[in-house]
Amino acid sequence: MRLANFKDKFLTTAFAIYAILFVLLLSYNRAFDVYELHTLDLRYRLRPKPYISEKIVIVEISDDSISKIGSWPFDRKYHALLVKALARAGVKQVIFDIFFSEKKEDDDEFATAVKEAGNVYMPYVFDMRLSQADANIPTAREFEIRLLKKLSSACKGTGHINAIPDLDGKVRRIAPFISLKDSLYPHIAFLGAIDYLGFSEHSAKLIPQKAILLGNKLKIPLDLRSNIIVNFPGKWTHTFRHYSYVDILTSYIAEREGRKPEFNLDELKDTVCFVGVTATAEPDIHPSPYESAYPGVGILASLFNGVISDNFITRASKVTNLFILILLGLIIFFATLKSKKFLSLFYLFAILFSFFLLGVALFALLNYWIDIFYPIIVSTVLYLLFTFKKYIAEKHRIEVIENELSIAKDIQRSFLPKAKPPIKGLEIEAKMLTALQVGGDLYDFIEISDTRAGIMIGDVSGKGVPAALYMAKVVSDFKSYAKEGDAKFALVKLNERLIAESSSSLFVTLTYLIFDMDKKTLNFSIGGHLPTIMFREGEEDPILLDLKEGMPLGLMEGEYIENTISMKKGDLFILYTDGVTEAMNAKHQLFGEKRLVDVARRNRALSVSGIVDAIHKEVEIYEGKLPQHDDITVIAVRMKE
C-alpha cells in the first residue's frame, strides 16, 4: 500500500513538474505572441499622446495632387521643382518614400536639384523572401528595387525602406540595419535621424539583439531580431504636420513669379520633410497599432520622431517575463489557497486587473512593454485547475463523510428497538424519518414484564452527527432506569446522569409511558416533550396527555411529575416529535397540532401501521417540494383488549 501511494505521488509530482516546465517553455518562446501584440496595440491607444516633434512634416502626394498634376507617377521635373522649393524654404532634410529605379528623361534635372540641395535622402528595397529568420540581424537575399546611380551619387544619403510585418501582418518594428553579403545597410529614416542629431552612419555601434549606441549620448534598444520597435505617436491625421505636394509646388512657382502663394514657404524652415504617396489607390499602406491603413511614409516619420526625441519602446526580456509569470502565479495561488469560492474569484479578478493596469502604466510612463496576455491566461487556467482540484478534494471529503454517515446511520438504527414488546392486547407501530442521514429523534420499547411495557419517545436539540451521538447516549442510559420504578423515576435518574456526564450544550425532550395490561392503567411522565394524543373509543374529541411540570433533560436539576390514567379497549395513543407539527409549506405555514389531530381522527379506524403511514404521508404532501427540515417520528399504540 505504501509503495502504491509513493508511486501515485511520484507520478503526480512528475506530471506537475513537466506541466510547469511546459508552461514556462511556452512563455520563454513567446508561443502566443500574436495575441500579446493585440494587448500592445491596446496599450498604444490607452496611453497619453507622446511627444511629437514640430520639426517633422509630411509632404503628401494625395488624391488632390494627382488630380491636379495628372497621372501617377509624376515626371521627375516636378520632384526637381519640389526639391528646389524645399531648399528655398530652408528645410533641413528631405526624405523620399518614393522609388526611383527606372531611368526617365528628367533625371539630370532632378539629380542636379538634389545635388544642389545637399540634404536629400532616397530609398531602395531589399528582397527579404529568403532572409534568415533566425539571424541576429535581418539578412537580405539581394536588392529588389535599386536606386538609380545618378540619383544615388547626388543624394546626401540612401537607405532601405523595408517594413517587416509581425505575425498578424501589422508593422510595429523597423530594421535599422539589414545585412547583405556581410555589409550593413541602414534604414533611410534611421540614417536621416542620426544625421539630424549630428552622428555619422559609421559612428553607430550595433550590438545585435541588444542596442545601438551613438557615442555616449544615445542608446537605442533593439528586440531579439535587432529591430527597433516603432513608437507610433498616434493616428495618421492626428500627429504630424501635413502639407500637399501640389500646394508646395504652386506656392513656390507663385513666389518666383511675384504672385501671392497659397502659403508661406517659410513655415517649412528648419523642418524635416518626408515625401510620400498617400493617395487612395496607391499600395504603400500598412496596418499599424492605431489603424488598419497607415501610410508607409508615416512609419518613416514615426521612427524618425522616436530617434530624435530619444523616445523608444523597450520590451522586457524573456527572463523578466518568465519571472513575472512565476510571481503572478504564486500571488494568485496564495491569495486563493484558503479563500472561499466567491472571494477567490474576486481576488483573481482584482489581481489580474491590477496586473493589466500595471502593464498599461509601465508602457504609458516608461515605454516598457511587459507581456500581459500569456500571464493572464496562465493565471486564469491555474486558478481554474486549482479550483477544480479543491472541488475534487472537497467531493472526495464529502464522499468520505457520506460513507461515514451511512455507517453512523446503521449504528444509530441499532440503538432503536428491533422488535415490539410481545404484550398481549397491545398493538404498536413506529416510524422515523431523519432530515439528514443521522438525526436526533429517538424512541424505545421496554418489556418490563409479561403484562407491562414501556414506550419512550424523545427529541434531541439540534440535528446531524452531534444530535445522533447524544441520542445514542440517551437511549443507552435510559435503558438503565426504564425497568425500575415508575415513569417519573426513569426521567429523574436519566436527567441526573445526563447532567453529570455530558459536557455538551445539548438536551433532550422526552415522554415515557408505562402500559399495565393487568390493571388497565397508563403511567406517564413528560420532560418538556409534546403532549400525547389519546382517542377514546366512540369519542370524537381527543384527550391531550400533558403535564405542567417537567423540563427537558440534560439542562439542570429539576422536579418531574407523573400521572396515571385508566385505559379501555380501543383507546388509541399517538406520540410524535416536533418534526410533525413544525413541518412547513411553501407559504412558511406550520403543519400544527390541530392538523395532526384531524389526520389522526380521519384515519383512526385504520390499523396502527396505517395511521402512522397516513400521518407521514400527510406531512410529506404538506411540505410539497420543500426539503424536510427536521426529523419526523410517529408512534401509534392501540388497546386491543
Residue 157 falls within a domain, yes or no?
yes
When divided into structural domains, the chain yields a total of: 3
Average pLDDT, integer, range 106-129: 94
Residue 402 lies in a domain: no
User: Which residues are within 8 A (CB) of 501 and not within 5 positions of it... i.e. 6 or more apart?
Assistant: 473
Domain termination residue (choose one: 260, 285, 315): 315
Asked whether residue 436 is assigned to any structural domain, the reply reads yes
pLDDT of 75 above 90: yes
- Give me the residue label for grid cell 436527567: 495
Neighbours of 188 (CB within 10 A): 27
Task: Band the pLDDT of 2: cuts 50, 70, 90.
Answer: low
The residue type at 32: F
| Structural domain for 441, as ranges | 416-639
Same domain, 59 and 151: yes
Same domain (yes/no): 438, 575: yes
User: Do 468 and 378 belong together in one domain?
Assistant: no
The per-residue pLDDT for 343 is: 82
Q: Give me the helices (H) in 527-625, please.
A: 578-581, 592-602, 608-623
Residues 492 and 582 in one domain: yes
Q: Which residues pair with 187 in a beta bridge?
A: 160
Per-residue pLDDT band at 268 (split at 50, 70, 90)? very high
Q: What pLDDT score was predicted for residue 189? A: 97
For 143, 159, 194, 310, 414, the CA distances from 202, given in Å and listed in that order, are 21, 14, 10, 19, 98
Percent of the chain whose pLDDT exceeds 70: 93
Centre a 10 Å sphere on the Cβ of residue 515 and count the other Cβ atoms it contains: 25
> In the block, which residue shows the cell 404498536?
428
Residues 483 and 627 in one domain: yes
User: What confidence score (pLDDT) does residue 38 get?
Assistant: 94
Q: Could you tell me if residue 339 is left (phi over 0), alpha (psi between -120 and 50 degrees) or otherwise beta?
A: beta
Instruction: Give yes or no for residue 273 having a pLDDT over 90.
Output: yes
At 370, is the pLDDT very low, low, confident or very high (cuts 50, 70, 90)? very high
Q: CA 453 to CA 456: how far, in whole Å?
A: 10
Main-chain phi, psi angles of 124, to 5 degrees: -140, 170
What's the pLDDT tens digit per position in 280-309? 866 788 899 999 889 999 999 999 999 999
pLDDT number for residue 382: 82
Lookup: cell for 460: 434531541
Instruction: Report phi then psi at 515, rounded to 5.
Output: -95, 125
Q: What is the mean pLDDT of residues 549-565?
A: 90
Are 10 and 86 within one domain? no
Supply the CATH number for residue 456's domain: 3.60.40.10
Confidence of residue 404 (pLDDT cuts 50, 70, 90): low
Grid coordinates belonging to 514? 408505562
pLDDT for res 498: 92
409 inside domain: no
* Averaged pLDDT of the chain: 89
Out of 328-332, 390-394, 484-488, pick the least confident.
Answer: 390-394
User: Do 347 and 420 reside in the same domain of the chain?
Assistant: no
pLDDT at 136 over 90: no
Shared domain for 513 and 548, answered yes or no, is yes
Percent of the chain with pLDDT over 90: 65
Are 550 and 434 contained in the same domain?
yes
Phi, psi (rounded to 5 degrees) for 206: -90, 125
Q: What pLDDT score was predicted for residue 415?
A: 64
Q: How many CB atoms lie within 10 A of CB 280?
A: 9
Model confidence band, residue 11 (pLDDT cutoffs 50, 70, 90):
low
Q: Give me the pLDDT at residue 85, please.
A: 96
Report CA-CA distances (Å) from 13 to 6, 8, 329.
10, 9, 18
**In terms of Cα–Cα distance, which of 545, 514, 526, 409 is closest to 458?**
526
Beta-carbon neighbour count of residue 3 at 10 Å?
Answer: 7
pLDDT value for 380: 87
Residue 504 banded pLDDT, cuts 50, 70, 90? confident
Mean pLDDT over 301-318 rounds to 95
pLDDT given for residue 412 in this prediction:
64
Cross-strand bridge partners of residue 482: none
Full-model pTM: 0.68
- Whole-angstrom distance, CA of residue 18 vs CA of residue 26: 12
The pLDDT value recorded for residue 636 is 96
Of the candidates 315, 340, 369, which is a domain's last residue?
315
Q: Which helix (H) or strand (E) holds 464?
A: helix 464-481
Lowest-confidence region among 217-221, 336-340, 408-412, 568-572: 408-412
**Buried b vs exposed e over 578-611: b needs ≥16 C-beta within 10 Å?**
bbbbebbeeeeeebebebbbebbeebbeeebeeb
Residue 400 forms part of a structural domain: no
Which of 315, 332, 366 is the last residue before a domain boundary? 315
Shared domain check, 228 and 264: yes
Residues 364, 268, single domain; the answer is no
Residues 571, 577, 578, CA angle at the centre, nearest 5°? 125
Residues 276 and 342 in one domain: no
**Structural domain includes residue 38:** no
Which value, in Å, is the radius of gyration of the alpha carbons in the chain? 47
Go through the chain and tell me how many residues it has: 641
> Amino acid identity of 523?
N
Q: Which of 477, 86, 16, 70 is nearest to 275 (CA)?
A: 86
Q: How far is CA 358 from CA 372, 397, 610, in A?
A: 9, 40, 73
Residue 395 falls inside a structural domain: no
Q: Is residue 105 part of a domain?
A: yes
DSSP track, 486-517: -HHHHHHHHHHHHHHH--SS--EEEEEEEEET
User: CA–CA separation, 598 vs 378, rounded Å?
Assistant: 65
- Out of 249-258, 353-362, 470-479, 610-619, least confident range: 470-479
Q: Per-residue pLDDT for 428 more than 90?
A: yes
Residue 387's pLDDT is what? 78
